[in-house]
Amino acid sequence: MDLKLQNKVAIVTGGAKGIGAGISEVLSEEGVNVVIADFAPLEETRLFADQLSSSYGVKTLAVRADIGKPEDIENVFNEALENFGTVDILMNNAGIGGPLKFDDITLDILQKYEKVNLEGVFLMTARFIKICLAQNKGGHIVNTLSKSAFTTNSGGNTPYIATKGAIAAYTRGLAKEMGPKGIYINAIIPGYVDTPGTSIDPTRGESVLKHIPSGRLAQPKEMGYVAAFLCSEKACQMMGVLVDVTGGTML
């Protein structure tokens, strides 16, 4: 696309698999140096990072991180600054979800969702903004939401819905506050995406097609195209925007 992002530095949480991998790959195609922070085994993340470097000629860095842990978040940024000196883009993509009946929700489970989907995003964002302000420059943040926060075709995932809904409101509120400082904050709303998570159940893809006007599952890179666009000067009038990339599912 040539979004004029060459030599920028991005952190992508959950960046080694699924939607995060699609985002990492599109950013690499655009010439962005990518820090891939993922809870997957470090060797798996390194292998993916090396593939991106080899394919697109960019610098990549693999870091194992649980963004539910403040010390892991601090380590991600320390590694990024040590290797690249700055961070221009933050993709808050990592999160936890999955079917969960209301009767099975305990305080411990609820707090686990909050730690990753809420506190992790808050702390990643706070650290990124601190760097932008200290270096007297702007930046771009893109949060990965979920259609479930707005409309759902199934029940049984209320902690996920609640935490993703909170980040939707957080995106808009913080965009208002940080926009005047040159820090753009937006979000994407994926729908049904063809990821390792969906391939676990081979029938799921077929069963959800009836809910998708586009008639097919999205590909991770298609989420990446929109996320990368939001980090470019071409999106200079977009602040606090929640972009529907569900293939019409939310219609």
d(CA 230, CA 184): 9
Residue that is written with structure tokens 């590694």 in the block: 79
**Total number of residues shown for the chain:** 251
Q: Report the alpha-carbon distance of residue 229 to residue 47 in Å, rounded.
A: 26
Which residue type, as a one-letter code, is found at position 242?
L
Q: Is 56 tagged catalytic?
A: no
Q: Which of 113, 160, 184, 225 is an active site residue? A: 160
Q: What is the rounded CA–CA span in Å between residue 29 and residue 21?
A: 12
Contacts 24+ apart (CB under 8 A), 231-234: 231/3, 231/5, 231/8, 231/10, 231/88, 231/89, 231/140, 231/142, 231/184, 232/3, 232/4, 232/5, 233/3, 233/4, 234/3
Catalytically active residues are 160
